[in-house]
Structure 1
Amino acid sequence: MLVDTIQDARNHVNQALLLLSSHDDSDHFKTGAEVNKVFLSLLLLQLTRARNRLTTPASLTLPELATSGLMQILSPPQNVLPHPGDVMVNFYINLSKLCLTVYQLHTMPPNTTKNFKPAGSSVLHNPGAMFELNNNRFQVSHVHKVECVVPWLNGTLVFFTISLQLCQQLKDKSLEKKV
């Protein structure tokens, strides 16, 4: 999924570049409104989507994460002692950081209904969060999170911000000419 995040952002940039290259010298815009409607609005949309893909991690429930391929439930071999419990791992991008979250899970007895409250959507689930998957109930007992700054992601976000600001300024100027 981590690669998908970067690929999705790149696809949006490619769409913006395709939009830029699809117009040639024979295209003549008569008004700023035409530029806004045909060109700048779509360009801003693609650049915003690309930046958002890197700045906003998915907020999902634990079962959604477990079944989406973002996380894997790893059970250690039964002959390994001590048995640390089931573990779920999640990699994601948040701004200019690569994040790794490891959830240590406790398997709940199958007849647990009294205090079972499934967790809602979140980027980071806290200890005590519960979920059900494949007729098994789990509770998060420990959460370990590690973040690593990725310098090129920070540079990329700066370039997206500058590009969006410049496009917005151009859009504003084209609207001023209309008035």
Structure 2
Amino acid sequence: MLQQHEFEWVLNKEVHTVLNQLKNILVECIKRFPVPLNLSGEGHYKPEKFVLSNGLDQIKCVVSLTGDSITHAEINFKVQRQQMINYRTSVQPDNPWRLHQVQDAVNHLHQAIVIIDNIDVDYPFRSSEEVLFCLGNILGCLQRGRSSLILPRKRTIDDLMKSRNMKSLSPVLPEDLALSFYIQSHKLVFAVYQLSSTHGTMKYECHQSEASVPWLNEVLVLFTVALQLCQQLKDKISVFAQYKDFVVGPLPPLHCNV
């Protein structure tokens, strides 16, 4: 009987308390992103300047990061052909280089907030399965959002060379070279790919440089805190889920879809 009372308290009180805490963390996390949160795309953000260098005098890239776009970049790098050749190119404000990972992470965060907002503060949860369903949806959003920043999508050399972003470079580069900017954890990474043929076999060399982006570190910390809080509640509810007779009245339809 004591366990049944504890179960009802968790469903009626603790779940809503944790969901409220979770939403506050997610709101703080989304505020760290210097990108517009509405569909109009409005918002004025001060460019952040970063110098990316590999310390070998092979790559130097000075970047202005504005929100989820590189709005300006002065790029210098060297590649070995018959001799070492230096290339210079740039990204100009009228044709920025988009970092889709940033907007993807924001979208997943926003989706998690919408799920929580769709649960009324006085909604009477009736079963552990119902709560686990909601928490599973929220966890999925948070995991996808965090992964979009930590695990950049792998792309082939051919995809990189044909990407729209490569067309934003001025002047354009030879066809056997490709550049890439991407987010990996709390860092902005710049990579140079050189395609070559040896005895009929195509291969590529990659050189990269990076710079730490402070607000990305804050975002990842808040993502981690939110994931831990959500997982802890899920683990607690999963214990009650082992007892199939722990329900509170008739089961209503689930209301946790986005």
With the length of structure 1 as denominator, give the TM-score of the two structures: 0.70
The one-letter code matched in structure 2 to 1:32 is: S
Q: In structure 1, what residue type is equivalent to 2:210? A: E
Flag as ranges the 4+ runs of structure 1 deviating above 6 A: none
Alignment RMSD: 2.8
Give the corresponding residue for 2:147: 52
CA contact (8 A) 1:2 1:92 kept: no
For each residue in 1:17-69, what CA deviation from the matched residue of structure 2 results, as whole angstroms up to 9, or x when unmatched? 000101113522111111011x1000000000000000001212100222233
Q: Deviations over 1:98-141 (max 9, x none)?
A: 001123456x6xxxxx83334xxxxxxxxx42xxxxxxxxxx5x
Q: Find the counterpart in structure 1 of residue 124 from structure 2.
A: 28
CA distance in 2, matches of 1:65, 1:173: 45
Tell me, what secondary structure is at the counterpart of 2:99?
A: helix
Partner of 2:207: 144
Instruction: Provide the residue aligned with 2:156 in structure 1.
Output: 61
Q: Could you state the TM-score of these two structures normalised by the residue count of structure 2? A: 0.50
Query: Percent identity among equivalent residues?
Result: 39
The code of the aligned residue for 2:107 comes to N
- CA distance in 1 between partners of 2:223 and 2:174 (Å): 43
Query: Any conservation in 2 of the 1:96–1:153 contact (CA below 8 Å)?
Result: yes
1:115 paired to 2:230: no
Unmatched tracts of structure 1, length 5 or more: 78-82, 109-113, 119-127, 130-139
CA contact (8 A) 1:73 1:89 kept: no
Q: How many residues align?
A: 146
Specify whether residues 158 and 31 from structure 1 end up closer, same or farther in structure 2 by C-alpha distance, changes over 3 A only.
Answer: same
CA contact (8 A) 2:185 2:217 kept: yes
Structure 2, unpaired ranges of 5+: 1-96, 243-258
Task: Name the CA distance, whole Å, in 2 between partners of 1:151 and 1:74.
Answer: 26
SS at match of 1:25: coil
